[in-house]
Structure 1
Amino acid sequence: MDHAIYTAMGAASQTLNQQAVTASNLANASTPGFRAQLNALRAVPVEGLSLPRARW
């Protein structure tokens, strides 16, 4: 399968997770003793012998 699809699905999965955490934080904001969850993302460089090539 194309590497771009895996990259896009990884980003979509992380966005969905981020939305779920935000929704949970908002829903429980008024609960005594509630501690909000944090999402931490960082860019990771791609390492390897070659870069993906465009297919025409």
Structure 2
Amino acid sequence: MPQLNPSPWFFIMIASWLTFSMIIQPKLLSFVTMNPPSSKPPVTPTTTPWTWPWT
């Protein structure tokens, strides 16, 4: 069963994770978000209950 032999894909998996962790991830994390989170408390809308005609 070839899937039990880790030699063909294990190096590829480790190399791709190292590439992502060392090169791509710091570049993505350096971007500033365009919409920073607000410090205002969330406002819950006031709603009125629905009046059913048959009650």
TM over 0.5: no
Query: What TM-score bracket applies, with the shorter chain setting the length?
Result: 0.3 to 0.5
User: TM-score scaled by structure 1?
Assistant: 0.39
Q: TM-score, normalised by structure 2?
A: 0.40
Give the structure, 1 or 2, with the largest relative contact order (CA under 8 Å, sep 6 or more). 1
